[in-house]
Structure 1
Amino acid sequence: MSQTVATAPRADIRTASRWFAALILPIGPAAVALLRYFLPYDTVDDPATITSKLMADPGGTSLMLWLGFIATLTLVPGAYFVSRLIRTRVPWLTAISLILVVPGYLVLPWMASGDAFIWSAGQAGLDAASITKAAEVPHGSVSLAAVVFVVGHVLGTILLGVALWRSRMVPRWAAIATAISQPIHIIAAVVVVSHTLDLVGWGLQAAGFAAVGWAILRLRDHGWDPLP
């Protein structure tokens, strides 16, 4: 005689996951926008100048490191949630974007390691000359991380903006804001050297990602995560 085994209904967390995605999406770019605005030094400064500026502003340096920590935790999930919204409409472009942007975000801890070292060495009472001498000899992985970061997050974000445009899932302005955000960041960091313009660049990505979050919230649960 056959028996029917009762199974407990599976908890439906799709609404909660949509809200989680919408909340996470703008946090990473916004954290980097604030980091770049409050950065105690300019990207084009030499190592001695960077060391002196960081040691002169330990509070600002600590704030920068905390913002970098927040960005590290949220940028990759944010990129994933963007891809989850648009991947069925532009699968190849979305995949290429992630292949570039995710490694770029993942190397952020290596990018911040030098500043963290200078802060710690300064708090320990080491002199600026010794700290600078050590900072000028980074591990090879740190140098490689800089290349991966620049190429990955700049090209990846541009392509992600194009993918958003082609998906028609968000307003056109959000796709444009995402696509142009990192070229503006590069110009602000190494061409005109403007922390305010850098805030605008990363802020545009935060606004674009926030629009993605709003589009996710407007979906029905089955549109976000169809049940089998």
Structure 2
Amino acid sequence: MSATAVQPRTKRDVRTASRWLAAFVVPIGAAAIALLRYFLPYDTADDSATIVSKVMAEPGRSSLVLWLAFIGILTLVPSAYIVGKLTRRRAPWLTGAALVLLIPGYLSLGWLVAGDQALWTGTEAGLDAGTITKLYDTMHPTGGLAAGIFVLGHVVGTILLGIALWRSQVVARWAAVAVIVSQPIHFVAAVIVPNHTLDLIGWGLQAAGFAAVGLAILRLRNDEWDLPTLP
């Protein structure tokens, strides 16, 4: 009696699904932060007492900010990696420098959100403004370090990634320019001339540029996107 040969199971090619997932994810983080900056109940340049009073006056907006930050924290690093996956072949050094700055910068965002979490929690717990202000001002020193890493990382890193998009020509020129100018606009709107609408435009330009990357991903063939699964 002869043994029946067992045919190896063919593994399903998941590259199409991964392309669609990447195209969907890539603009979400920037879009979430654009909305966060628009709905933020205070200005970044405000002093602590003013920030506390504005949060206490609009705790609902503060809660929305926390939800948007949560979405951003989950998706910003994957989005940077996805864009870098497209630009690294033609602009490897620029892409590498951009990701070295962007990934630590985006990861540091969680520390900054801890301050907003403390503001909302103190308000919901019924603490007085003076106590919340003291709590807000007594954050761990890593918060200040995280702020510096975030500002340097996401501003300079996004500019470099936009230049990589320009040089690699994986998207239209307008999309690369949108990414390049997005964070300088955000910096002006957040620090120099506080303006939430302008801040929305800045981060919105990055989201638009990344959405163009998503469309470019959908137009790729699977073999251009990734290597096939090994048998």
Please name the residue that 2:115 is paired with. 114
Name the aligned partner's letter for residue 212 of structure 1.
Answer: V
Aligned-pair Cα RMSD in Å: 1.5
The answer on 1:204 being equivalent to 2:205 is yes
Provide the rounded CA distance (Å) in 1 between the counterparts of 2:40 and 2:214: 28
Alignment of 1:131-170 (within 5 A): 131-170=132-171
Name the aligned partner's letter for residue 121 of structure 2.
Answer: S
What is the DSSP-based 3-state SS (H/G/I as helix, E as strand, rest coil) of the residue aligned with 1:60? helix
Please name the residue that 1:83 is paired with. 84
The answer on 1:46 being equivalent to 2:47 is yes
TM-score normalised per structure 2: 0.96
Name the aligned partner's letter for residue 169 of structure 1.
Answer: V
| CA apart distance, 1:137 | 1.5
Provide the rounded CA distance (Å) in 1 between the counterparts of 2:220 and 2:166: 18
Please name the residue that 2:182 is paired with. 181
Name the aligned partner's letter for residue 63 of structure 1.
Answer: L
Name the aligned partner's letter for residue 56 of structure 1.
Answer: A
Provide the rounded CA distance (Å) in 2 between the counterparts of 1:132 and 1:194: 24
Name the aligned partner's letter for residue 190 of structure 1.
Answer: V
What is the DSSP-based 3-state SS (H/G/I as helix, E as strand, rest coil) of the residue aligned with 2:30? helix
| CA apart distance, 1:4 | 6.6
Please name the residue that 2:124 is paired with. 123
What is the DSSP-based 3-state SS (H/G/I as helix, E as strand, rest coil) of the residue aligned with 2:139? coil
| CA apart distance, 1:5 | 5.6
| CA apart distance, 1:13 | 0.8
Provide the rounded CA distance (Å) in 2 between the counterparts of 1:200 and 1:52: 26
Worse-superposed segment, 78-87 or 148-157: 78-87
**1:187-216 residue CA offsets vs partner (Å, 9 max, x unmatched):** 001111110000000000000000000000
| CA apart distance, 1:6 | 3.0
Provide the rounded CA distance (Å) in 2 between the counterparts of 1:35 and 1:148: 19
Give the fraction of aligned pairs with identical amino acids, expressed as a percent.
Answer: 62
TM-score normalised per structure 1: 0.97
The gaps in structure 2 that reach 5 residues or longer are none
The gaps in structure 1 that reach 5 residues or longer are none
Provide the rounded CA distance (Å) in 1 between the counterparts of 2:135 and 2:224: 53
| CA apart distance, 1:91 | 1.1
Alignment of 1:208-227 (within 5 A): 208-227=209-228
Please name the residue that 2:28 is paired with. 27
**1:117-168 residue CA offsets vs partner (Å, 9 max, x unmatched):** 1111111111010110121122111010000000000000000000000001
CA contact (8 A) 2:23 2:211 kept: yes
| CA apart distance, 1:10 | 1.1
| CA apart distance, 1:32 | 0.3
What is the DSSP-based 3-state SS (H/G/I as helix, E as strand, rest coil) of the residue aligned with 1:6? coil
Provide the rounded CA distance (Å) in 2 between the counterparts of 1:5 and 1:106: 48
Provide the rounded CA distance (Å) in 1 between the counterparts of 2:129 and 2:157: 37
Provide the rounded CA distance (Å) in 2 between the counterparts of 1:54 and 1:123: 11
